Amino acid sequence: MPDTPLPARPGALDPFKSNVFRNVWLATLVANLGSLIQGVGAAWMMTSIASSADLVALVQAAATLPIMLFSLISGALADNYNRRTIMLIAQAFMLVVSAVLALLAYAGMITPWVLLAFTFLIGCGTALQNPSIQAAVGDMVPRSQVPAAVSLNAMSFNITRSVGPAIGGIIVAAAGAAAAFAVNAVSYLALIAVLLRWKLETPKSHLPRESLGLAISAGLRYVAMSPNIEKVLLRGFVFGFAAISTLALLPLVARDLVGGGPLLYGVLFGAYGVGAIGGAFLGGRLRGMIENEWITRIGFVAFAVSATIQALSATAWLTCIGLLIGGVAWVLTLALFNVTVQLSTPRWVVGRAMSIYQMAIFGGMALGSWVWGMVAESHGPAEALLASAALMLVGAAIGFFIRLPGYTELNLDPLNRWREPSVALDLRARSGPIVIAIEYTIREEDLHEFLDAMAERRRIRRRDGARQWTLSRDLENPQLWVETYHTPTWHEYVRHNMRTTHSDAIVGDTLRRLHAGPEPIKVRRMIERPTDWAASQDQLKPMVDIHGSS
């Protein structure tokens, strides 16, 4: 079936009709509140025990660096194991780390590097959880509700962002950073309880799990052969690098540019969260009115305005206005990036695609936190914010050369048309390499359309795991064309074909229409063999299907 524009959007609150989504959303709200309170405690504690601006900014870098380093592994785990189990492990790990951090803080044993180390460990738990929880959106709601669910998840985080930092500031001012760390440890319990009750049903497969190395390489290959996702990664990295200046330098803005303490820092952070809630509601409306590229440009420019206001303001109310604008731009842009990746990815690889997307975003954030901290240390926070604003304008201008795709309703459900063939050799799962040759008869007048279709076929084949793809033309019969590709093993050949989606089938249908031979398209499946006779022998058997249909 052809790709068509998205139909009328489901209601913004429709995902709440799913009990699982609603319960996870509410529990995540509590966990996000704890994380933000912990972030306020860590950032303000660092301003108290360290004198340099770069160490203050490194708190944000320590929280985001693990997501860049480990998300790809987490994405491979999310696509090959039960996502609910992975989320439970991550939540339990972060609970233990947060509890130990609180005890050390109460004991007065926190140094700048100890604080950074524990912040890094909490970031590792986030890195383990994020691909699974992002990919699980499609397990909780229908695909048509994914954009609304992503916006609601963004709203959940930013509802807590609007009040969490202020609460965190009150807790830190009244009881110290150790109390903030203890609150964070308790906040994980709600989501753990919800996940324990969720019975996630995973599709059954007769194929074994991919090894971690193969799963990672398959995810990288899929993204590398998906131009729409690559555009999101580039724009997302630039946005994360530039926009993190606000969060990384906010403690310094509160202390040095506005002249406040932890309570004012929490209020400023809360203003940012209020703006982000507005961005979550505004994003759904804008997606129905203007194209994605213009929304992205608006997000970049709005953040440049936000950073400029913060840099030049000396009053809390004006800085709050700048942060409101920044919060709107933050959610507007990142939610659009997130939905674009999810709608461009089939379920078998969505965890890895989301992990690579998060690596780009959080890699930009981690690098940006360090860079803007160094600039603030040498030139001051105002100058660092102005420099990030200039980079934001560059990010908007990139859109004139690398445009984001619009939303289309790609049917990325498995086609399930292919059936494992009967073979005469006694193949085993690891038998290989397998060589596939497909013969087409193409009239001269159809040659241009055929080559266009084969260019897309090449991208799809390589994206789904084929190797050494070639297209050849017979010298004696110019109407005869042969497509050839390899897979390492028979199981990888089966897996390759099981990944075909309804959207991919458009190319196959085109090629069948263009085939002009008297017989159907001929597919030859072969196994490479060494020239040594003993090594090349396989036991012949009757032509029966030993593998079964899929």
Per-residue pLDDT tens over the stretch 521-550: 999 999 888 666 555 554 333 333 333 333
Asked whether the predicted pLDDT for residue 244 surpasses 80, the reply is yes
404-440, pLDDT tens digit by residue? Answer: 876 555 677 777 777 878 787 777 777 878 999 999 9
For 148, 281, 283, 337, 443, the CA distances from 11, given in Å and listed in that order, are 7, 12, 13, 20, 49
Q: Are 132 and 76 in contact (CB under 8 A)?
A: no
Residue 2: partners with Cβ closer than 8 Å, 6 or more residues away: 506
Task: Count other Cβ atoms within 10 Å, centred on residue 282.
Answer: 18
pLDDT-derived band at 54 (thresholds 50, 70, 90) equals: low
Per-residue burial over 238-251, b = 16 or more CB atoms within 10 Å of its CB, e = otherwise: bbbbbbbbbbbbbb
Partners of residue 544 on adjacent β-strands: 423
Least confident of 151-155, 332-336, 533-537: 533-537
Q: Where are the beta strands (DSSP E) in 388-521?
A: 408-409, 423-425, 434-441, 467-473, 480-487
Residue 281: partners with Cβ closer than 8 Å, 6 or more residues away: 12, 151, 155
Residue 433: partners with Cβ closer than 8 Å, 6 or more residues away: 486, 487, 488, 489, 527, 528
- Per-residue DSSP letter, 420: P
Residue type, 103: L
> H-helix or E-strand containing 541?
strand 540-544
pTM of the full structure = 0.75
Q: Which of 287, 247, 21, 339 is nearest to 156 (CA)?
A: 21
Q: Are 38 and 171 in contact (CB under 8 A)?
A: no
Structure-block tokens of residue 56: 């203050």
Partners of residue 470 on adjacent β-strands: 484
State how far the Cα of 425 lies from the Cα of 498, in Å rounded to an integer. Answer: 22
Please tell me the predicted confidence (pLDDT) of residue 403.
84
Structure-block tokens of residue 330: 């933050």
